Each structure stands twice: as structure tokens, then as C-alpha cells.
Amino acid sequence: MTSDKHARHVAIIMDGNGRWAKRHHLPRAMGHQRGVEAVRKLVRSAGGMGIECLTLYAFSSENWSRPDEEVSDLMNLMRKFIKSDLPEFIANDVRLKIIGDWQGLAPDIVEMLEDALEQTSKGSNTLAVALNYGAQQEIAHAASLAAQSGAITPETIAANLYTADLPPLDLLIRTSGEVRLSNFLLWQAAYAEMSFTDVLWPDFTPDHLQSALDDFARRERRYGGR
């Protein structure tokens, strides 16, 4: 049994953009835009909260089934976010990391991401963004690589996950009142603490994150022990 008071690695399932837009009688695209603004505020605050790595579920491998117009809006928002925020990442010593099959995105987005990864590679705090990501696919891919090395064990699978170079996941947060993992970091979340909130993602603020961190600090992590 251990009592870890500080969350080094926090992951967030950013849910509720569409419901936020509907609640405010706005187009769904506006909900996604406000969601990006919430991301921006959180990234600016995370380092000051002692978070070494913030991992965000931005676009799942299942999201391709959404209407074409919505997918197009999400891709365009991604382009704008990379262009507008890359200088700030560099200035604030943030390392960008992409997890998932992001090479399967549009060629211009892949090129932009490759440039951003290179320019931020020396950052001391990490923003990991899950793009075209699915945890089951990640585990299958890691197991395949582990088999090629000659042994499939928990250790060899973990060493081949997209997150192998990140701190162990401490806290996973999901917004909007949904209580499920939706194929996100299934392996990494094995002993992570969970936090579910009814707050819709565009309304999620650094204060909400700090509240989740404070709650995490009060928990006793047992890792299967007593």
C-alpha cells in the first residue's frame, strides 16, 4: 500500500462539446471550438500544478464514424491549434507528443505534427495528444512487437506502448457525466485513480483540474494490496 500525494501524469477524456453547444443553442462546431479554448487554458496551467505530463484524448479511431462535416471541422481546428499554439509551447518548455496512428491523418496535418514534434522535442513538461487513437489497437500493436522480441510479458508489452517514455498514469479524468473509458489508455489505467465530473468539457477550467488533483492527494492508492 502506498500514499502518492502528487499526480505526475494526468489524462483527460474531453467529453461534452456537442452537448455544450446544444445547451447554448449553438452549432456543434462552436462546441468544439470552445473545447479547444479549454485545452489552451489547461495546458497553460498544468505545469504550475506540478503535472509533468498531461495526456488528452483528442480524436479516437472510432471518431471517423461521425458525420463528414464534423470530422472536417475537427481536423481544421487541429490545424489552427497547431499553428497558433506551437510558439507558446516552445516558449513555455512544453514537449508535444502524439500517441495513436497519427500518420494516418491528412498529409498536411502529419507534416505540421512532425514539425511541431521536432521543434518541441527538448521541452521538460509533456503534452501528449491522442490522435486517431484506440487503446485496444495500441495493446495489440505492442503485443505484436513484444512477440517479435521473443517474449510476450506485461513488461515487454508496456515497453512497446505509445506511452512507454511517459510517467505511469496517476489520474484519469472524464468530463460530461459519462462513466466509462471509451477505449482510452486501457493498459495504462490499470491502477490509475479515476475522476468523473458532470462538467461539460468547454466549461472545464484549471480550477476544476486543481480540485481533481486535491481529491487525488487525499486518496490512498493500494495497487491491489490492503
Active site residues: 15, 63
Cα(124)–Cα(180) distance, integer angstroms: 31
Give the CA-trace dihedral at 98, 100, 101, 106, to 10 degrees.
-50
Write down how long the chain is: 226
DSSP designation for 58: E
Is the distance from CB of 224 to CB of 12 less than 8 angstroms? Answer: no
Q: What is the end-to-end Cα distance of the chain in Å, rounded?
A: 6
DSSP designation for 176: T
Contacts 24+ apart (CB under 8 A), 188-195: 188/11, 188/161, 188/163, 189/11, 191/221, 191/223, 191/224, 192/11, 192/168, 193/219, 193/221, 195/171
